[in-house]
Amino acid sequence: MMSAIVLSHRWLGIAFCLLFAMWFATGIVMHFVPFPSLMEAERVGGLAPVDSGEVRISVADAVAASGIADATRLRLLQRSDGPVYVVSGPSRLRVVRATDGQDASVRSPEVALAIAQAHARQRGLDAAHAAVVAHADYDQWSVPNGFDRHRPLFRVALGDAVETEVYVSSRTGEVVLDTTRNERGWNLAGSVLHWIYPTVLRSNWALWDGVVWTLSLLALIAALLGAVLGIVRVKLRGRRPSSPYRGWHALHHIIGLAATVFVLTWIFSGWLSMDHGRLFSRGQLTSAEAGVIDASPDWTTAPSPDRKLLSPSAREVEWFAFDGKVYRRERTGLDKQVVLRPDGGGSEGLGAQAIGSLMVKLATGCDAPSSLAGNDDYPAQSTVDGTPVYRSRCGDLWFDIDSADGRVLQRLDASRRAYRWFYSALHTLDFPILMAYPRLRDALIVGLCALGLVFSITGIVIGWRRLRFSFAG
């Protein structure tokens, strides 16, 4: 048995020592520089006030023009070429002009360029030398599945000092992503390596998922075998434990013992990041629950701009169905909005009573919704700063609802709650006590990853020497 463990650990270690070192080093980079995305503040900052005078068709007419019979949400946006309705259903997305209901998808690079420049000006970015540099389904920064509804994407280089590039959806004409030179550079040394994220692999989600899951599992097995060997090989000299090895082997043994708990939990939780429903639930609504949440309303009852005037400072207007009724919300800033209820009243968001009424239909045995505290063990963040998220506990099943727009942010069953600790807490150390002390958390993450990196380097040296010995001559 021990011979098999030694042999398996040796060759798995040789195969994965470089991968271990890469994961630890890139983990430090990722902690400080996340993968590029369009932050909500950037998205809202790039929106221009809606010119309601140009809106000619009603919400119901926009839904009919889109051809999406099961539409659940509409957004009214001001693009550089005029106002448009973005109509969303459970599986489809279309955009139509608010003037005549005609298709408003973006096919022309000139239109995409004008949209990107208008977005940049709203954010105070220099776009004087902007140019469209690509029109493609995928590149290194647009591979996440969240962009599938927007492909292909126009990539526009603004030509500013920090080399900002923005991506314009050909489906809706929205800017959906931005990157800068520094973000791209650090992520090539961070997320791209850490997640094994080359475009050619990641653009095929199923293949990428299988490859990275398998590699992570084999790495976990190598670490487990090493932990067994490390503990078994400890020698006692008097009352003091010691290593029977010398040189690099002794260093590998000692550092490995010191880092065993961290290495095992970090590699295990990293493997769980690729779980995707294999062992834990995915936190997705069931078809019955989705049928309640996404029930299409009677759009003729929607308070259209011609019947209920828009605020002149509204940068985004959204109509959404909630509990069979149509609400309208006007986004006037990052932390400012008004939600118009079907009865004509207004507030900053949905109230606990409206959310509780829906929860009765969504699940059985639900408690009255309560607002989440800022230090909740299972945090959820509203899309609008300062707007509460309500949690409704339906027995062992919890739902977190964003009162800003009625979306279900989290569906937490016992499995999903356990996953939060086994994956997120172990891998990013976002334990509530550490989140209260961010500098301490930063130091722990950097220190532990550095320890893991040094440990991996000793394995690289030992592995290289073993290869030279085994294959010399």
Tens digit of pLDDT for each residue in 383-415? 999 899 999 999 999 999 999 999 999 999 999
Give me the torsion for CA of 211, 215, 216, 217, rounded to 10°. Answer: 100
Helix/strand/coil (H, E, C) string of the chain?
CHHHHHHHHHHHHHHHHHHHHHHHHHHHHHHHCCCCCCCHHHHHHCCCCCCHHHCCCCHHHHHHHHCCCCCCEEEEEEECCEEEEEEECCCCEEEEECCCCCECCCCCHHHHHHHHHHHHHHCCCCCCCCEEEEEECCCCCCCCHHHHHHCCEEEEECCCCCCCEEEEECCCCCEEEEECHHHHHHHHCCHHHHCCCCHHHHCCHHHHHHHHHHHHHHHHHHHHHHHHHHHHCCEEECCEEECCCCHHHHHHHHHHHHHHHHHHHHHHHHHHCCCCCCCCCCCCCCHHHHHHHCCCCCHHHCCCCCCCCCCCCCCEEEEEEECCEEEEEEEEECCEEEEECCCCCEECCCCHHHHHHHHHHHCCCECCCEECCCCCCCCCCCCCCCCCEEEEEECCEEEEEECCCCCEEEEECHHHHHHHHHHHHHHHCCCHHHHCCHHHHHHHHHHHHHHHHHHHHHHHHHHHHHHHHHHCC
pLDDT of residue 311: 84
Sheet strands side by side (includes 370-371): 370-371, 389-394, 397-402, 408-412
Q: What gap in Å lies between CA 93 and CA 95, rounded to an integer?
A: 7
Q: What gap in Å lies between CA 203 and CA 148, rounded to an integer?
A: 10
pLDDT of residue 238: 74
pLDDT of residue 345: 80
Q: Reply yes or no on whether the pLDDT at 339 is more than 90.
A: yes
pLDDT of residue 471: 82
Q: Reply yes or no on whether the pLDDT at 303 is more than 90.
A: no
Q: Reply yes or no on whether the pLDDT at 7 is more than 80.
A: yes
For domain 105-180, the question of CATH label 3.10.450 is answered with yes
Q: What percent of the chain has pLDDT over 90?
A: 88
Residues 360-379, mean pLDDT to the nearest whole number: 92
**304: pLDDT confidence band, cut at 50, 70 and 90?**
low
CATH 3.10.450 in the chain: give the residue spans: 105-180
**343: pLDDT confidence band, cut at 50, 70 and 90?**
confident
Residues 362-384, mean pLDDT to the nearest whole number: 93
Q: What gap in Å lies between CA 440 and CA 431, rounded to an integer?
A: 12
**279: pLDDT confidence band, cut at 50, 70 and 90?**
very high
Please state, as a whole number, how many other Cβ atoms lie within 10 Å of the Cβ of residue 237: 7
**301: pLDDT confidence band, cut at 50, 70 and 90?**
confident
Residues 2-29, mean pLDDT to the nearest whole number: 95
Residues 449-467, mean pLDDT to the nearest whole number: 96
Residue-wise pLDDT tens digits, 115-166? 999 999 999 999 999 999 999 999 999 999 999 999 999 999 999 999 999 9
pLDDT of residue 239: 76
Residues 11-16, mean pLDDT to the nearest whole number: 95
Averaged pLDDT of the chain: 94
